[in-house]
Structure formats: C-alpha cells, structure tokens
Structure 1
Amino acid sequence: MASAQDLEQHRAALTGHCYRMMGSAADADDAVQETMVRAWRGLGGFEERASLRTWLTRIATRVCLDALADRRRRLRPIELEGPGTVDDPLTELPRGRWIEPIPDEVALPADADPLERVLLRQSIRLAFVAALQHLPPRQRAALLLADVLGWPAAEVADTLETSVASVNSALQRARAKLASFGDLPEGAASLTAAQSALLDRYVETFERYDIDALVHLLHEDATLSMPPYRLWLRGHENISRWMLGRGIDCQGSRLVPTWASGSPAFGQYRPTGPWALVVLELRGDRIAAMNYFLDTETLFPRFGLPPERPPTVTARSLSASRPTDEFGRRGPSIGQNPAGGSECPPPRPARCS
C-alpha cells in the first residue's frame, strides 16, 4: 500500500493543478491539503488500476469543484474596467477577488520531462490562469485534465462522472472561450539572451530610478497594475507620470529576483522595507506588463524572499536559477485540440504609489 511519503512525492503536481483550478496559491494549498487527507483515508480503496498521481488528481479535481461551488471568480484589474489615469483614486477590492501568483518551484513537478515542463509552466502564467477563471468549473476541469495533463476523454469523463460526449462538448466550448481571449503567452523553455539582457537593464534602470530609460524597455501598450487596487495604467506616458509622481517613493528601491507563475519576478524593497512582488510579463524582447502585488506579508514568506532589504542583486542570478528545457523548445498551445491542431509600484497613498 502507498505510504504518506508516496503521496507527498506528488504534491507539486497537485499544487499546480489546484492553482490552475482556483487561481490562488493559498486556495491551492488548502485544496492539496484536503486532497491528501481524503487520499490517506481512502488508500485502502486504491486499486492501482491507474497511477497514484492520476488517482490523486481525480481527488484533487473533486476537491476543487466542491470549493468552487460557492466562490466568486478571481480576476485581474484589467478585467474590471478600462485603464485609469494617474489622478484616479485608489480603491481596493477584497483579497479573495484577485488572481494571485505562485512560486514556480511549488507548482512544477521535478519529474516532468522537458517538454511537459514547458507546457506546465505555460499553464500557470497569470494571463492563462485568469482566462481559465472565465470557464465554468467543470469546463475548466475538463480542459485542464485533457489539454494540460493529456488525459483521454474517457478518463476525464470518469473523473467528472459524466459521459465522453459531454466531455467532448465541454472541451469544445472551453477551447472556443479561451480562443476568444486572443493569443495567450506561450511557455518559453528558457529566457532568450535578449530577454536576459532585458531583465538586467530593468533591474539597473529601476534601481537607478531612470524612468525615461525604463519605459523604453516596455511595449508601447504595456500595462501596470497593483492588486489589491482596482486601478491599472496603460502606455509609456501614464506609467512614467505615475512613477515620477505618486510612485516616487519607490526611488531607491532594490530588487531581488525570483520566479512567479512561470514568469520572471522580483521582490521589491523600498528604502524602508518590503513593498511588492513584481511579476513581469514579457513579449519578445520587451516588457508587456508589470504586475505589483502589494501583499508582502503573505507573498514574501511564500516566495522565500528575505524580510529585510538585502544587498544589491542582479537579474543574472534570476536567469541562472531558472530551470531550462535542454532542447530550447516551446511547448504546445493549451486550449487547442491536440489532435490538430503592469505596472511600476503604484503604492498606497503617500507611499510608493
């Protein structure tokens, strides 16, 4: 019979699956813990007709569906309303409404093969996880089991206690819905040389607080957001005005590299201490979005970021620490039929915002 240690070996895979379902690292942790409890109690009924991970994933899927029955959809600021201006008031929404980032290391199983790892990394990116939340929970589960984990329709149907025809219909609707969001970020196996250099320049210009140079690292339509605030900004002029105006207290900040939701990220420390987890979304060799998550009390311990402002660090250490695909390839697109187919830390008033 499987042991507790055997169950624990699958924690990262389950965490990634539950994160995609729930849109929150904290909710994913809760779902995985409940999965482990149910699995331990039900080990006697595990008949080994499927792998232990498959069995656990079935349990985790049902746990998530139960939890989602009375939850509101999590979202990103850009989904609430159009872009704001630097003069707009800062209003907050409850923490439970926002898509939250997750550390790569806790959501990506170490035993995944290189191409599988690329696909799994793509599937925890903020834009994709946000798009998933627009699907009804059972459609979401069907899509993730079939298109991310590669399960056959019959196995998905068994997990969801429905027919293969119903699963295929749900997949068709889910794929069409995701397609309506346009091109979602692809999962690059590793940073390109140009992207590594871009991160170096981002750190250097931000720590020097050379905003003119920093905005030239951004796409023209780049966005800046800062959950839990509703406000988000778009474009060089608005971002520059924010950082040189209400965000001026971020001058003198230091950045510590990490990885969050499949993307390069940084713990930002103002001179007075921790300020934000900054998750960058790249498009080509420019930055498309800067996401400043301000709940440092929760996020910094989760990401293993130091509680105090550290010495200067460079983005090179971030690119060096990232697990890479030895083949340098991109994974397949999620939400397609496999058969054929921002933000600079706008702070709370009178702070770095």
Structure 2
Amino acid sequence: MTDAGPLGADEATFIALARSGDTARFALITERHRRELQVHCYRMLANYDDAQDMTQETFLRAWNKRKSFKGHAALRTWLYRIATNACLDFLQKRNDRTPVPSGLSDSGSEVPHLQPYPDRMLPEDPQESVVSRETIELAFIVAVQHLPPRQRAVFILRDVLGWPASKVADALELTVASVTSALQRARVTMREQLPDRRLDWRSPAPHELSHDERGVVKAYIDAHERNDLDGLMSLLRDDLRFAMLPELGPVTMTAKDAVDGWVSGGLFERGRDDWRGIGTTVNRMPAAALYLRAPEDTEYRLFAIAVLRIVDGKIAELTGFDATGKPWLDPLPAL
C-alpha cells in the first residue's frame, strides 16, 4: 500500500536521518505531528494521561523502526499507523474489551478512566478533521469507547480521518473485507449511542461556542458566586444527566436533587473569597472551571471543572472532573 504522489520533503528527510541516526533532526521532524497524534490516541483511550504516554511510545517505536521506513507511505500516515497499534497494544493490556454501563451518552455508558482534553493542546489548524468539535466532545469520546478496540481503530481511521479502506487494512494488517465489516458494525453502535447526532464526522462543524452557550456558562458561574440556588436550578433541565468523575458515576436526577446534592456536599458553605470561577472550554465544549483558595494559601488553585452540554438554553448534561493534581489542565483559556 502506497500513498499517491512522489516522495515528499518530510519523507526524504526522514529517510536521510534514519541512516544518520540524528536524534535532534528526528525530534524536529516528528514533533510537528505530536498534537494530532495525541488527539488520535485520546479518541482511542478517552484518557489524556494515557494519550500522552502513547504518543511518546509512538515516537519511541518510530525511532526504533526508523530504518524500516522507505517512503512508500507519507510520514504522517506511518506515524498514525504506529500510534494506532500502540493504543491497541495498550488496550489489550488494559483488557478494555467492553464498556461498563454509564450515563454520558444517550443510552448510557460509564468510562471510569475518562479525562477532559484541554483545548490549548489541540492542533492549531481549524481545518483539520482532528479538531472537529463533534469528534472531540465527551459524548463522542464515550460513544467510541463502546466499540471493541479494533473496531474503534477502524472507525476512527475511516470515518473521522477519512482514510480509504485499503490504507486502514494495511495499517491494521486486515483484509479490506474485514475493515468494511468492522466499520459497518461500528456505525451501528455509534448510531445507537448518538441517535440524535449526524454521523458524517468528516463534514465541517462549528468550533466556536454559540452566544447561548456563553450566556449559560456565565449565568452558571454567577449563580455559584452569589450562592443563588434558585438561579442555579433555573439553568438545569429537570432530566439532568450528572456525573462527577472519577468519584461518582453518571446518574440522571432532577435539578432540585442536583442542587441539594451540591449544598449537602458543602459547595455553598465556603465564602465567596475562598473560590472563583471562570468560563472556559474543554473538549471544545462550554465549561466552568472552579478555583479554590485554601485557608493557608495565598493562591487560587484549580480543583474542579464542570463540562456542560447545553440544549435550548439549559444544561442537559453536566460532567464534573476532579482537576486537582492535573497541571496539564491549567491554565485554561477564559471565554
């Protein structure tokens, strides 16, 4: 299997450095692909830490296999192939064959290792399919985890990245018929998990938050800062899907139950000077980041992120993440 077109500059440079063993030039030419490879690994694994590790593993494997690269495929394709197989090996060790029931997609599915993805670590090219908002949102990431690992790889390579079946078959050492069959089964599962979403993942999708989304995030933070429980309840749909990961699995609850739970958990017992919130985005989704200042501290430190799915001006899903001890989340961009 070869990519169309003559040998490119990257490919020629890579072949030359493979012969010379120049680690500095190797790092220079491969580093430009880091962010998109890390997003690819994140889609496969749903965990930012693991995606970082597998991206590093990809570069290590690429270095060790550098002399096998002959330029028959683009360097980018070759790196994606290595990254995909590194993730499949990781999933096999994690024994990630079937998801456990949860509630972040419409039919529900828990991914206990799910972590948010900071937008500042996304590739910068807004035209790249790897940064399409719909394919980085939490609901999509969770839905993909319902697929067995090899189906997952086929689906991401075919329907998200747009690879032809023959290239996917070559990357995964499958037949084209096997790829086609796996893709058909994957699409059925994705339709079950995301029944209200369009399934043409390669079409452009808006990256920016809507005016309504920004307004709800601001109102959500304002209600917290004023201890306005009625105002907070007014922002929540009564069939709210709520999760606090990793401590509390996803549940469906009324707006009143959600607010009562936050109150009983002590969220509103602190004075306004002890914490502050900022509107932000993670996974290209609206979010509220809460910063806490401990009594003995002089600085506010990130301790939780609430990722919101907003439907018709109200919060339909709220996924909270414990952000303490995760420096890769901070700083978060303000809306």
Both proteins in one fold, TM over 0.5: yes
Do the aligned partners of residues 59 and 79 (structure 1) sit closer, same or farther apart at CA in structure 2, a change above 3 Å counting? same
> Given the alignment, which residue of 87, 98, 102 partners 2:117?
102
Correspondences of 1:257-336 after superposition (within 5 Å) = 257-272=279-294, 274-298=302-326, 301-305=327-331, 318-319=334-335
Query: Alignment partner for residue 78 of structure 1, among 103, 106, 113?
Result: 103
- Matches of 2:290 and 2:322 in 1, distance apart? 10
1:75 and 1:256, CA in 2 relative to 1: closer, same or farther beyond 3 A? farther
Residue 10 (1) aligns with residue 33 (2)? yes
Tell me which amino acid in the other structure corresponds to 1:200: K
How far apart are residue 152 of structure 1 and its match?
0.4
Match of residue 30, structure 1, among 53, 58, 62: 53
- CA drift of 1:262 comes to 2.1
Aligned mate of 1:147, from 159, 174, 193: 159
Unpaired segments of 5 or more residues in structure 2?
Answer: 1-12, 15-25, 199-204, 295-300
| Aligned match for 1:63, one of 76, 79, 86 | 86
The residue aligned with 1:45 is: 68
SS of the residue aligned with 2:207? coil
Paired residue secondary structure (1:135):
coil
Are the aligned partners of 1:250 and 1:270 in contact in 2 as well (CA < 8 Å)? no
Query: Following TM superposition, by how much is the alpha carbon of 1:59 offset from its aligned partner in structure 2, in angstroms?
Result: 0.4
Q: Deviations over 1:42-92 (max 9, x none)?
A: 223222232221110000001001111121446685379x99xxxxxxxxx
1:184 positional shift: 5.8
Runs of 5+ in structure 1 lacking a partner?
84-92, 307-316, 320-353
The answer on whether the counterparts of 1:102 and 1:261 sit within 8 Å (CA) in structure 2 is yes
**Residues 1:24 and 1:185: Cα distance change in structure 2 (over 3 Å):** farther
Distance 1:110 1:184 in 2: 29
Aligned counterparts of 1:281 and 1:76: Cα–Cα separation in 2: 20
The answer to whether the 8 Å contact 2:213/2:286 transfers is: no
* Aligned partner of 1:135 among 142, 147, 156: 147
**Aligned residue runs from structure 1 range 76-225, under 5 A:** 77-78=102-103, 97-106=112-121, 108-113=122-127, 116=129, 119=132, 121-183=133-195, 188-225=206-243
CA distance in 2, matches of 1:217, 1:230: 22
SS in 1 for 2:334: helix
Deviation of 1:288 after TM superposition, in Å, equals: 1.5
Match of 1:241 in 2: 260
Deviation at 1:305, TM superposition (A): 3.4
Change in Cα spacing, 1:39 to 1:129, as seen in structure 2 (3 Å) is same
* Alignment check: 8 A CA contact 1:76 1:99 kept: no
Could you tell me how far apart the structure 1 residues matched to 2:193 and 2:76 are? 31
Q: Which gives a bigger RCO, structure 1 or 2 (Cα 8 Å, sep 6+)?
A: 1
Q: State the SS of the aligned residue for 2:237.
A: strand
| Distance apart, 1:250 and its partner CA | 5.8
- In 2, the alpha carbon distance for the partners of 1:221 and 1:192 equals 22
Q: What amino acid does structure 1 have at the position aligned with 2:319?
A: N
Q: Is residue 2:273 matched to residue 1:256? A: no
Q: Contact 1:127–1:184 (CA<8 Å) still a contact in 2?
A: no
- Counterparts in 2 of 1:220 and 1:16: CA distance versus 1, 3 Å: same
Amino acid at match of 2:325: E
Q: Which is greater in Rg?
A: 2
3-state SS of paired residue (1:288): strand
Check 1:126–1:16 CA distance in 2 against 1; reply closer, same or farther (3 A cut). same
**Identical aligned residues as a percent:** 37
Secondary structure of the structure 2 residue equivalent to 1:57 = helix
Residue type of the alignment partner of 1:296: T
Instruction: Classify the secondary structure of the residue corresponding to 2:219.
Output: helix
Query: Stretches of 4+ moved more than 6 A in 1?
Result: none
Give the Cα separation in 2 of the matches to 1:79 and 1:189. 21
**Cα distance between partner residues in 2 of 1:283 and 1:192:** 11
- 2:317 maps to amino acid: A
Q: CA deviation at 1:177?
A: 0.7
Query: Relative to structure 1, is the Cα distance of residues 75 and 257 closer, same or farther in structure 2, using a 3 angstrom cutoff?
Result: farther
Q: Deviations over 1:263-296 (max 9, x none)?
A: 1223312453543122222224222222221241
CA RMSD of aligned residues (A): 2.7
